[in-house]
Chains A and B, each alone.
Chain A
């Protein structure tokens, strides 16, 4: 009996979303009175034993460099074998890009019920009931997993990472992965920017900024906050900003601690991409903008005057 937490990594490092999953899995193991173990496929440069500080006692590794590229089919088989080898009764993923590719496959393979997009620990007082977001963040569902093995994939940025003391033992699993049917031929990463889906603070601009030449003042605010940059759909469609910055129903869905929307009216399709943000700040010159109804804080006024002042004030407290 154990909780097995899948540890996702890129460029030799464990992803932040997986540190959330590790903390979550360790807390869940405590709740169930079982051990918490991690599982890493492939190789990383950092010290795996140090992951013990997130509350796990053991890190299982399939140390094979072929696994540094994702093939969901190969991953699912290896994870299922590892789950059987370690006697896992609960498997935890992050509901990030990798989790979305792999967790469902493992679920079908092991006939283990999956709750995808969980936001809190399960209620185990009567069954195994996990709360997840539904209707694009407009509601929650409490879902009971009825199979013997249970799989949870945790929404990024919904569980706080806690690091304490302790080291994990590292255990090499002798699992031979299948040959990949998916070949990675190119990787294009935007360097030097905070990835939108991992960002704790997101600064987003809309048509109210009037043109791409005006993005400098928004970027200044973004830099001061170490935030990721985003935009509304009309801005991406007009090619003022790249498409990967478009947040909304059909773009990227984000759930940062702080979302600052400047010059965005707040159409329902935009809100569907941002309404899981913990705190929303809206700056808009139109007091009737629907976004104010979804906001926690707001300023009615001219973004071109407000943004430079805001950046300056933030620099003061950030020292």
Chain B
């Protein structure tokens, strides 16, 4: 059994979001980079748990990024897993990124590909579905529980107002979110072990991007909160009804 976990480098949740070059690029000055939380806390940790239960599982992780993504992938290796692959390319087009991951996944013959449900920077929720399509494999998205049973998996996924339990044949692609696993902190042994784990660098395959970011913009600043005295709740209701027109 071989599992591939897709990890992405994203700005820390608390980063100040700003743009440069005439709003064409994300301004990364002073930004702390982390592993996308959905990739790390849920997809990666669940894969590590599966390997802990069954030592014959091989666990690889893959990222698409430049050399500056390596500290992130070492951190991922410190949590667990056998080996990491960095595809040496930089892009914000989902199809381009997914095509790179699919090429690695095809070569490696993985039984299971995990992604986070979305990245906290581009919020596309697209990589898992695209990789699945390119591999011609089934896809279960927004998983909240995941269990392996031989050649199939039982996956609970989010639906509107509830959950649905799916039985899916492997190989498959699954996108993970809260519920699948709990966040872990790497320990010193893991950090030491990560230093000697293989981190392979592969060159990208030739693919045309299907989209390009023209510009970024920040939302208009909030006008500021309108405070209503605690003894005049009726005034709040009037404002919501007559001014904001939301009730």
Is the Cβ of B246 less than 8 Å from the Cβ of A201? yes
Give a binary string over A91-121; 1 marks a CB under 8 Å from any B CB, 0 the rest. Answer: 0000111001111111111011111110000
Whether B210 and A107, one on each chain, are in contact in the complex, defined by CB atoms closer than 8 angstroms, is yes
Within 8 A of B (CB), among A245-264: 246, 249-251, 257-258
**Is B49 an interface residue, CB under 8 A from the partner?**
no
Q: Which residues of B contact A314 (CB under 8 A)?
A: 237, 247
Q: Are A100 and B225 in contact (CB under 8 A)?
A: no
Interface residue ranges of B127-163 to A (CB < 8 Å) = 127-130, 132-134, 136-142, 154, 157-163
- Complex-state Cα separation, A19 to B131, whole angstroms: 29
A212→B94 CA distance, assembly (Å):
42
Inter-chain CA distance A198–B162, complex, in Å, is 12
Q: How far is the CA of A269 from the CA of B34 in the complex (A)?
A: 15
Q: Give Cα distance in the complex from A141 to B141, angstroms.
A: 24
Question: Are A299 and B228 neighbours in the complex by a CB distance under 8 Å?
Answer: yes
Contact A257:B246 (CB < 8 A) given known A108-B95, A140-B219, A144-B211: yes
Q: Please tell me if A49 contacts chain B, counting CB pairs below 8 Å.
A: no
Residues of B within 8 A of A281 (CB): 236, 240
Interface of chain B, main secondary structure: mixed
- Whose C-beta in chain A lies nearest to the C-beta of B18? A139
Please tell me if the beta carbons of B166 and A185 are within 8 angstroms of each other in the complex.
yes
Q: What separation, in Å, do the CA atoms of A144 and B246 have in the docked complex?
A: 33
Given contacts A141-B215, A201-B247, contact A292 B129 (CB under 8 A): no
Cβ of A261 to closest chain B Cβ, rounded Å: 12
Known A97-B142, A111-B95, A187-B159; judge A105-B132 contact (CB<8 A).
yes
Contact status of A185 and B165, CB under 8 A, knowing A100-B141, A108-B98, A258-B247: yes
Cross-chain contact A250 with B226 (CB below 8 angstroms)? no
Residues from chain A with a CB closer than 8 A to the CB of B11 are: 135
A314 CA / B37 CA spacing, docked (Å)? 39
Q: How large is the interface on A (under 10, 10 to 19, 20 to 34, 35 or more residues)?
A: 35 or more
CB-CB nearest in chain B for A309: B233
A183 and B99 CA atoms in complex are apart in Å by 27
Minimum distance in angstroms from B54 CB to a CB of chain A:
23
Those of B153-191 within 8 Å (CB) of chain A: 154, 157-169, 172, 177-179
| B121 on the A face (CB < 8 A) | yes
A100 pairs with B237, CB closer than 8 A: no
The answer for the CA separation of A184 and B164 in the assembled complex, in Å, is: 7
What is the distance, in angstroms, from B49's C-beta to the closest C-beta of chain A? Answer: 18
The answer to whether the Cβ of B67 comes within 8 Å of any Cβ in the partner chain is no
Residues of chain B contacted by A188 (CB below 8 angstroms): 162-165
Sort A-B residue pairs by CB-CB distance and give the 7 closest, nearest first: A301-B230, A104-B129, A113-B210, A195-B161, A189-B162, A108-B133, A104-B126
Report A's interface with B, CB cutoff 8 A: 10, 15, 71-73, 76, 95-97, 100-109, 111-117, 127, 129, 132-136, 138-147, 181-190, 193-198, 201, 225, 243-244, 246, 249-251, 257-258, 268-269, 272, 278-279, 281-282, 292-302, 305-306, 309-310, 313-314, 316-318
Q: 22 A-B contacts, Cβ less than 8 Å apart? A: A72-B139, A73-B132, A73-B138, A105-B129, A108-B130, A116-B123, A116-B124, A135-B11, A138-B219, A139-B218, A140-B217, A141-B122, A142-B214, A142-B215, A182-B138, A194-B161, A201-B246, A246-B178, A250-B41, A296-B223, A297-B226, A310-B236
